Structure formats: structure tokens, C-alpha cells
Amino acid sequence: MLPFWSGFIACLLAVLVVPQTLAWESPELQNAAEPPQCYSCEGINCLRTTKQNVTIGCADRLDICVTIYEDFAVSERGCLSQISLAGQAKCHARSPECHKCSGELCNNQGRSDFKCLQCSGSISDTCNEGASSSLKALQCGLSTASNSYCYVKIVGEHLQRGCALSLKEQKTCLDSTDCSLCLPDSSLGKDVACNTFNLAYPKSSAGSLQGQKMFALSLALLSLLALLLVN
């Protein structure tokens, strides 16, 4: 009987002690997934640039970060389980006025349908072509203005296209004759932006300058030839 009880006790100790030992030696296994951190704001604070980096810790590991909009203006950010019931209702209804994401501090984007062409003609010639180009609209960042716009503006001898995310950017564009705004329109298509139009801008004069140089060189050669013939 003694060997039987000795074996039984050994097995019991193995069952009770070994898992605890493994857990003690590998604490990271116990904390493999911590609750996420999300950017947090409510109401007018969502439009204040000084409040853009406020964060909150979610209470549950399975929680996600969300951004809630009123039209295109941000009205609330935080953990899905902690935002207002009205905000949660938008998310459950899969409204475009709710943007959900999984990850640490991921709720820093604009509405999923707030997309603009984002490029510079000084880097890519296709940016100067607008609607005739193969450029795709990209999701914009988080706006701190009550409205969201795309823009096209003249920069030197090229066009630039992008998202006007702040009131200052929007006002600067409105006050300039070299810049134009447009409202994003999801009815145009999933990857089609409103800022495909072109503005009249001064084209590069490199070609004409080259022609002028060649003409001047030709005149100089003719003059030299005439002098040689006279002498």
C-alpha cells in the first residue's frame, strides 16, 4: 500500500505545484494582453489642439478604441465601453460617424469616408494631372475643425493636394487665390476624392529657356562665321 500512496501523492503534487511554478517563472503569460489605451475627449475639447493627446485606459482587454463624429466633426473619443450611449449606438449601427479600431492609441484618424488626394506635384508629376491621374484617395487624419475639407493649392510651379484638418489651414486656403477647398463626398465612390480638379498654375519655363539659349548660341556662331569670312 505504501508505494501506491507514495505514487498518488507525487502525482498530486505535480498537478498542483508545476502549473504554479510555470506561472511564477513566466509572468508575461499572465499579462499577455493588457487593456488598450485610447485617445479620449468629449464635446468641444475634441476640437482643441491642446487636448489632442489626452488618453484613457480601457477596463477590459477586449475593449476597442473609437472616435465618434457629428457629421465630420469629432464629438467624442475613448473606449467603446466607456463612451456615451448615443456614441455606442452609432457604432452598433455601423454608422460612418463611428470609427472603430483595435490597437494602442489607434483612434487618431478621420472618418473612414473622409478621403482626399494627398500628393505634391514637385515630387510626382501625376499630382499635377488631377482627374486624369491614377492617384487614389487616402484616408485623412483627425480634424480639429467643425468641418473637413480637401484642398488643391498652387505651390511654385506645381500643384499640391491634401486634407485641410484645422481651422487655420482652412482659413488660410480660403483667403488665398492660389488655393481651393472642396467637401468630401462619399457618393463619388470609395476611392474617389473631390480634390481632383486643377488650378491654373505657371508651368515650368525650363523648355523655353533652353530654346532661348540655343537661339543665342546659334546667333553667336553665325556672327563668328561672318567675321571669319570678312577677314
Residue-wise pLDDT for 44-80, tens only, equals 999 998 889 999 999 999 999 999 999 889 999 999 9
Whole-angstrom CA distances from 58 to 55, 102, 227 are: 10, 12, 89
Supply the range of the domain harboring residue 167.
115-188
Alpha-carbon span 218 to 139, nearest angstrom: 53
Q: Is residue 108 part of a domain?
A: no
Q: Is residue 46 part of a domain?
A: yes
Question: In 3D, which of 15, 38, 18 has the Cα closest to residue 26?
Answer: 18
Domain count of the fold of the chain: 2
Q: Is residue 197 part of a domain?
A: no
Task: Work out whether strand 65-70 and strand 119-120 pair parallel, antiparallel, or are unpaired.
Answer: unpaired
Give yes or no: residues 126 and 93 share one domain: no
Q: Is residue 16 part of a domain?
A: no
| Residue 209 confidence (pLDDT) | 41
pTM: 0.67
pLDDT at 206 over 60: no
Q: Is residue 134 part of a domain?
A: yes
Q: Is residue 106 part of a domain?
A: no
Q: How many residues does the chain have?
A: 231
